[in-house]
Structures are given as C-alpha cells and as structure tokens.
Amino acid sequence: MTSLSELADAPPGMPSAGLLEIDLDAVRANYRLLRGRIGNAVCGGVVKADSYGLGASRVVPALAREGCRHFFVAHADEALALLPHLPDGGTLYVLNGLVGDAVPEIARLAAEGAPVVPVLNSLDHVIAWRAAAARRGRVLPAVLQIDTGMSRLGLAPAEVAAVADDGTAFAGLDIRFVMSHLACADEPLHPASAAQLAAFQAAREVLARHAAFAGARWCLANSSGIFLGAGYHFDLVRPGAALYGLNPQPGGDNPMRAVVRLHARIIQARSIPAGSHVGYGYTFASAGAARVATLSVGYADGWPRSLSGKGAVWLGDQRLPILGRVSMDSIVVDVSHVSEGRAVADAPIELIGGHQSVDDVADAAGTIGYEILTSLGRRYRRVYTGG
C-alpha cells in the first residue's frame, strides 16, 4: 500500500482531490474466495462500468492471472475497449445485448472471430442475430437470457416455450450459455430467489426439447447468489460486487477483502465562534466555538450530497462528523475534538478505509456500495497495488 505520508508529502498543487488506492491483490483474493465456494462451477467476472469504477483495464488482467476467462460488460463499446486486455481464451459477454449500433458492431467483431458474445434478451435479439449469422454465412456465438421474475431483460416463459418448439429459431447460432438474473439474492430469506431458481430449472427442461441447447451451459448467480448455496451455482457464476470488496451478504459479516481506500487532505482549518454557519444554505449553525476543517472532496468526486450533515470521515482513530452541505469540490468537518496541531492543512483524512468501508459510506448516504463505487470521481490520483 502506498503510504499516507505520500499523500501528505505531495507537493502543493497536486492536481487530485485525493488518493484512491485500488488493491488488485485483494481483487484476486476475492476471486479465489468465490471460486472456492462454487465446487466445479466456473467463476467469471463482471467488469461492466469500468469494473464498477475501479479500472477494467487493470482488473481484467488481474483476474486473468487467477484463471478467469469469462468477462461480462454491459455495452458493446465496453467490450471493444477491453479486447486488448483480454487473456488468451478469454471471452467478453455483452449483457445489454444487441442494442442500437451494437448489432453491426458485434456482428462484425464476432464474424472476424473476436471473442465478443452478445446476450440475446428478446425474441427480436434472437431474430436479429440469426439474420446476422445468415448474412455472414457463419455460426455466431450467443448467450440467451431468460426472465425468471425481475421483468428486466430476457425471454418470458411463453417465449421460451415458443422457441423450444421452433426448430429453426436458433439456426446459425452457437448458444454458449443460458442465463437469468436474481433480483433479491442479497436478502437470503426473500422467497423470490427460490421461485426464480424453480423458474430457471423449468425453462431448462423446456429448452432441453431443442437441439440448440444440447451443449448449452447454465448461469444464474451474481455475487450474492453464490452465497445462496450450491443449487444456484450451475455451470458459471457472474460475480461483480464481491470481487470489489462489497458485502455479498448485507447484514452479516463481510467475507470479502476490502479493495478500495480513499484519502483526501485538509485544505484549510479554522476556528469559528459560537453562532457561525457552515456551508451552502447555512444548514449548520455552531452552538459553541468550534474548529472546522475543509477537505478537498465533494459531490463532483462521488462523495454523495446526501451525506450533507450526516456521516463522517476519519483522522487517525478520530471520527470527524460532516457539517453542513456537501459542496461540489469540498466538505467541512468538525475537528473540535482533535488534539491541537493534528487537524492542520495537508493532514491526510480517511474517507474509505479501515474505519469505514464502502458499504458503511453507502449506508450513511442511504444508497448501496455499488453506487458509491461506480461514482468515484475522475479527479483522484489513482494508485494500483498488486495485481
């Protein structure tokens, strides 16, 4: 890990709001932990949204070193950008499938033999991809998604039954996997998961009538789904969040290793008399004399504005409550109880680290760790370790 003193010692004018440390060894350890839980199933990695904001061009090679070969993105252009970073034998799956420009783009890539595979989310996608295969006179790979309850993407049960009895529905297509997605896997007691599992198994029996699925494999679980038990693992699992250290079992102990640390620095400290106000809207008024410090991180850096007057940051072991509104480029925190001489300009402040996790920040902000991670701004200096 890069030492905090590096941040503290950085020359004035360092152009970043703070230091964002991303531990690629922790990503690898998390992959190993998940793989250890899934028996003979294969562990893929979800690297959409630039690996949840952490840098997919760094995460993909790190996962590849652990043997990961199945990578999931949301959009065709995300797949394009990652092709140069893909290991031999690796495949990129495009979860949102054949949308807009993606049809000709993915068809061209696939026809050229690039390892980019669209997820077909509707009958229209199936038809478009079949037509692309016919036009190019070659077999094109695909993943078929079926909807098992969340009404987001995938064929409805009636459509599954219809294609199962249509011998030509998948002409020219090589169906690598059939997938669905769990809506409530992070709530182990929620009855939806078992119902979705039953619907997935029912669709599997229906599709078994069709020759195109003779060699297909099956894929259901995201991070939390892995922790629902072996019945949810099938042939391939698709974790994202847990790889990046988020807790796949909210409310329970987090078995994953933390991946991210974020530090900013104090850019100004000052004493204020009783009755002073802090920040936009004067939403905080100090009852007594206080000492406050201004930090170089705001909502433009992904520090949520919903933390206005809520949550805290840390100086060593001391908790510094956030006062008033979060600004675009700064926040003000209470340092009244910090011993003299510590809360001074340039002192490094922990926003995410040993004292509060990404999930803790999300809880305080009334959101989920996914949103905090994917919002981490572009103004931080990013330092990768391990990998």
Ligand X SMILES: *Cc1c(COP(=O)(O)O)cnc(C)c1O
Smaller CB distance to ligand X: residue 141 or 239?
239
Distance, first Cα to last Cα, the chain = 12
Q: Compute CA distances 236 → 76, 156, 231, 232, 316, whole Å.
A: 21, 22, 12, 10, 42
Q: Is 384:22 a contact under the CB 8 Å cutoff?
A: yes
Report, in Å, the least distance between residue 88 CB and ligand X. 24
Smaller CB distance to ligand X: residue 227 or 284?
227
DSSP state for residue 198 in the 8-state scheme:
H
Smaller CB distance to ligand X: residue 195 or 383?
195
Q: Is 57:87 a contact under the CB 8 Å cutoff?
A: no
Closest CA to 262 of 222, 226, 306, 295: 295
Q: Whole-angstrom Cα distance, residue 164 to residue 150?
A: 22
Closest CA to 97 of 135, 137, 154: 154
Active site residue 48: yes
In our burial notation (b when 16+ CB lie closer than 10 A, e otherwise), range 8-17 reads: eebeeeeebb
Q: Compute CA distances 271 → 119, 292, 294, whole Å.
A: 58, 6, 12
- State the residues that interact with ligand X by CB under 6 A: 46, 48, 95, 181, 222-224, 238-242
User: Which residue's C-beta sits nearest to ligand X?
Assistant: 240
Report, in Å, the least distance between residue 181 CB and ligand X. 4
- Point out the catalytic residue in the list 31, 48, 93, 244: 48
Report, in Å, the least distance between residue 82 CB and ligand X. 15
Q: Which residue has the tokens 């039953």?
A: 198
Smaller CB distance to ligand X: residue 8 or 49?
49
Report, in Å, the least distance between residue 43 CB and ligand X. 11
Active site residue 280: yes
- Point out the catalytic residue in the list 31, 93, 244, 280: 280
Report, in Å, the least distance between residue 228 CB and ligand X. 12
Smaller CB distance to ligand X: residue 336 or 375?
375
Q: Kindly list the catalytic residues.
A: 48, 280
